[in-house]
Chains A and B, each alone.
Chain A
Amino acid sequence: MHGEEEDVFDSVTWESASAPYDVDHTAMQAGPGFKQSTAGAEEPHGPHDPKWEGYLITIVKDPVKELPETKDAYVSYLVAAKTNLPIFSSQTPSARRRFQDFVFLRDHLVKDFPACVVPVLPDKHRLEYITGDRFSPEFMERRRLELHRFLQRIARHPMLQRSTLLRAFLESTEWHVYMHQHLAHPPGPEPAPGLIDNISDTLLNAFARVRKPDERFLEMRESVDKFEDGLVLSERLWNRIRGRTNDLMTDYHDLAVAVQGLGFLESGITDPLNHFSNTLLEFSALLRHKTQTSTDPFLVHLHSLLTYSHANRAVLKLRDQKQLDFEELSDYLSGVTLERDRLSAIISGHAGSSGLGLSAYLKDKVDAIRGADDDRSRVEKMRKLDIKIKELQDAVTTAHETSDAFSDETLREQKIFQHTKEAEMKEMLSNLADGEIEFYQSAIDEWDRIIPIIQRIRVDV
């Protein structure tokens, strides 16, 4: 187990190569080469191309209400998978998990893989907890679908799919034990916090902007923005159309009733008019059916994809933060270095010619008035500054490495996200198109059926 763990986290170690960003699509398509170790994985791909070691297809199904009739009742879901990943002991692992377990899985994946886009879990839906509706079949089915999508996203991620946490989630019979272990001994090297975090925390300015923006990320950011805009706009408009369709549904129903009423009045053609009324009713039912089985799921998925994209954006922001850390630290370092240089210049008697400008001159004057203008204190100060500079240099180096590594990871993460996005868009649009096609086909049948019936009305005009 330990070996596997190492294996998994090796892949997370950041590669600092700055190879071309372009993706070799064909190479990637052949991608899921069955390499069991990540050690040699760099060669055939660009460094930012994601690699899939194998497949992991997950299903969340069969929600069951556990401990019913007690106040501790909860819903468990059957989590099953098909895989050829060597990390799994079985090709078809499965387990029953509850919502809280999913929460644990996500929280710890986020912690363990800060640079990965970990999908978002559905809301807790507090309202349903209060009203007790959380055991209604609709609610359970909706949540099942959301959890399914969540797990599918993780499974599609080339790194997350091989995490030990996920493995335990999918196959461990002692999940609770594992959870405690995981809490006690978090895997992987703790990213040494200390100085960087301390300093960066103090330097952190929410309004700061990256000064040397990386073109690639700017573009990426923009594309994510546009994607989200597209999703948001589509969602809004589709929701509106959904509302209209619902209205039309009512209208056709009402019209059917009205036509039936007309049939009662027109005794000669009651029968054909009743048929026509039925067609209108049927059309109304088809509209409802389309909304319920196609548009609604589509909208749910659309929204879910939007939250996933938010997670992606958060990672991008985190990357900016890392770069910002580095930049701020560098600034700080250069400031401190400057101060030390100035002091040393004063000591060596070149105060006047130091040419450091008005502020430094004023500072000297103030110091002189305060009587602190003696070389000893200056030397003391310089010694302190030297230590600080040393520290800062280390920090800047680390921050630089972190930033670079994070950037590389982000580039790869974007590819992964792109894949998942495409796959989900495909599923989403294809289901939607299926729904539309089915609706139109059935509707054509309905209308075609009624025309000859009406044509049979004898007219002696």
Chain B
Amino acid sequence: MEAFEDDNPFENDVDRLSSEASSTSRVNISAPSSPPPSTAHLVSPTISHQSRPFPSPGTSRQPQPMYKSDFCCNRDRWLHSGGDVEILITDAQKTTVHSTTPYIVYVIQAGTAEARHRYSEFESLQSSLRKLYPTLIIPPIPSKQSISDYATNPSKAKEDVAMIARRKRMLQTFLNRIARHPILSNEHVFHRFLDGEVSWTEVLHSPPLSLLPKNILKAPSHNPTDQSVSPAYEALPNPSATYPLRHPEQRFIDSEMFTNKFANHLNGPMEKVSRRMLKRWSESAHDYSELGAALNGFSLNESGALASAIEKTGQAVDATYMSTTRLLQELEQNWAEPLHEYTQFASIIKKLLVYRHQKHVQYEMTKDTLENKRELLEEYEKSEREAKRLEEALARGRVDFSPRPEGQEENEGPEEPASAYLPPHPEPNPYRRRAPGMGFLNALSYTLHGMMDVDPETARRNGISKTRETISQLEDALHLAAQDLKYSGSTIQADLDRFQRQKVADLREMTISMARSHRDWCKKNLETWQAAKREIEKIPDHPNSMPATQSGKGAAGPSNTRRDSSATVNGR
């Protein structure tokens, strides 16, 4: 969608979308049984879009300065300056400002601006963005319950250093992910968060955040804070997340299935194993440090070459302890934390897809209701015509019909209200279901009843005008729902595509850094073990060994034995 490259996609898009959407909805109504042609219509922009390089977190800022001419503020200008901007969390300080209990503020540095925010403010920024952009993948923030304590022991202390360091890292990632998002980076709320000039409470209580509707399902997808929105939104139903769709879109079924699998896999095997592995490494590190100390103590008791050999071995073990600690840190930062972040991403995407699903249900429900209303109207009009005809006929021979209405009324009477107030629900008219042949009889009884009524003419007329009104409102709502569905479908799809690329890039980084960390770990340990080995070689040989003169023939003896035991060691 061009919308994504636009610096201000939503406002520009609305007009075009509405025209497209209205035509779509009309098409749908005319051919309700076949799969909505809008699907193809909706798909096409995304497909064409996929072939184009999507502005990605890394490069998005390159093309944007070209479009972007009106910066909303300095942060905006800085974020889209084209350079490789990086938001830093430079510090985490304990403070008691505006509070009775101490808390941690994170010092955020974005270019020249410095802002201080506490964790809860990040939390509210995140949830605000989620409400503002119901169709975008808002990056996660570290979970409240610190992403488990793989390495360090769980400590309830708020000041837990490791936890703060982890939060610091992950919050920084969160901010940078927003800064690199092609749309989110333009959000002024985010800019104000970075600027830190106004207090966050004030931002929360001023537009656009103060304008957020209670139920975002009854607000436009492209801009839930739009105040000039049509009242027809109120007419949209509020479906549950599990309500089944009659004409689901295959690609979103696929997306939902994939997201579920992905979430389960990440949350299950990946994270569990990684956590266990990190725990094990931390235990190993502890053991190595103990063993290193033990060997050093051991060496003190010995003398000469043996002592220094043991000491060097102890140093190698000590070095292993150091390198393992390092490895552990790197694995935690570059493997476990991103992994956890992606677990969170998965659940965010799940919610996103639920939102779209609900939008789709809204559309289908509205369409059904509209159809029912139209049928009802037809019914009214038919009976109106019937009544007129009857009236005409009665005018000609009123006497013929007189005895029958009594019995008829008793039988059919109770069902009458049902037909008068057709439920505004997708279910088809129960009357029609029962038997098509009843149509005439119904119409007849309706007419007769109308004739019996105090003022049948007025009631019918009222019904007709009311239904017409509802229909026109529903038509508006359907139009809006179609528009929203189309918009959220394509936007979510586009952001999913962007997310997929980001995921591949991150997985690449994660695996590379894991390989590198392990390699560095091996290298460090290799060096110290080689040093130890050199020292071990210095231990004098036992006096009971082959004299040098005979070694040519004799050395084969002991070295053979030794190789026997170590043959497998060297021969791999």
A248-B277, A276-B511 given; A437·B529 CB < 8 A: yes
Minimum CB–CB distance from B84 to chain A (whole Å) comes to 13
Chain A, interface SS category: helix
Q: Is residue A273 within 8 Å, beta carbon to beta carbon, of the partner chain? A: yes
Docked CA distance A433–B529 (Å): 6
Of the residues A55, A161, A289, A441, contact of B546 by C-beta under 8 Å: A55
Give the total number of A-B pairs whose CB atoms are below 8 A apart.
Answer: 239
Contact (Cβ within 8 A) B542 A423? yes
Chain B residues with a Cβ closer than 8 Å to the other chain, count: 84
Minimum CB–CB distance from A377 to chain B (whole Å) comes to 61
Which residues of B lie under 8 Å from residue A261 when comparing CB positions?
265, 269-270
A265-B262, A269-B507, A429-B313 given; A434·B283 CB < 8 A: no
Of the residues A158, A269, A294, contact of B504 by C-beta under 8 Å: A269
Docked CA distance A262–B560 (Å): 48
Q: Is residue B522 within 8 Å, beta carbon to beta carbon, of the partner chain? A: yes
Closest A residue to B309 using CB positions: A429
Contact (Cβ within 8 A) A430 B284? no
Which residues of A lie under 8 Å from residue B550 when comparing CB positions?
84
Contact (Cβ within 8 A) A434 B533? yes
Contact (Cβ within 8 A) A230 B526? no
Which residues of A lie under 8 Å from residue B290 when comparing CB positions?
237
Taking residues whose C-beta sits less than 8 angstroms from the other chain, chain A's interface range is: 35 or more
Contact (Cβ within 8 A) A61 B546? no
Q: Is residue B102 within 8 Å, beta carbon to beta carbon, of the partner chain? A: no
Docked CA distance A420–B504 (Å): 59
Minimum CB–CB distance from A95 to chain B (whole Å) comes to 16
Of the residues B258, B273, B547, contact of A255 by C-beta under 8 Å: B273
A429-B309, A454-B511, A461-B58 given; A233·B569 CB < 8 A: no
Which residues of A lie under 8 Å from residue B565 when comparing CB positions?
145, 297, 431
Contact (Cβ within 8 A) B544 A227? no
A61, A158, A254, A447: residue with the most chain B Cβ atoms closer than 10 Å: A447
Of the residues B294, B564, B569, contact of A234 by C-beta under 8 Å: B294
Minimum CB–CB distance from A224 to chain B (whole Å) comes to 10
Contact (Cβ within 8 A) A461 B502? yes
Q: Is residue B297 within 8 Å, beta carbon to beta carbon, of the partner chain? A: yes
Which residues of A lie under 8 Å from residue B519 when comparing CB positions?
443-444, 447-448, 451
Of the residues A28, A254, A427, A461, contact of B57 by C-beta under 8 Å: A461
Of the residues B523, B547, B566, contact of A440 by C-beta under 8 Å: B523
**Chain B, range 522-566, C-beta contacts under 8 Å to A:** 522-523, 525-526, 529-530, 532-533, 536-537, 539-547, 550, 554, 557-558, 560-562, 564-566
Which residues of B lie under 8 Å from residue A59 when comparing CB positions?
557, 560-561
Q: Is residue B287 within 8 Å, beta carbon to beta carbon, of the partner chain? A: yes
Closest B residue to A161 using CB positions: B544
Docked CA distance A254–B275 (Å): 12
Which residues of A lie under 8 Å from residue B523 when comparing CB positions?
440, 444
B297, B316, B544, B572: residue with the most chain A Cβ atoms closer than 10 Å: B544
A429-B309, A436-B316 given; A273·B507 CB < 8 A: yes
* Residues of A bordering B, CB below 8 Å: 28-29, 31-32, 50, 52, 55-57, 59, 61, 82, 84, 145, 148, 155-156, 158, 161, 223, 226-227, 230, 233-234, 237-238, 240-241, 244-245, 247-248, 251-252, 254-255, 257-259, 261-262, 265-266, 268-269, 272-273, 276, 279, 283, 289, 292-294, 297, 419-423, 425-427, 429-438, 440-444, 447-448, 450-451, 454-455, 457, 459-461
9 tightest A-B CB contacts, nearest first:
A230-B298, A423-B542, A258-B269, A440-B526, A447-B519, A461-B56, A433-B533, A426-B539, A226-B301
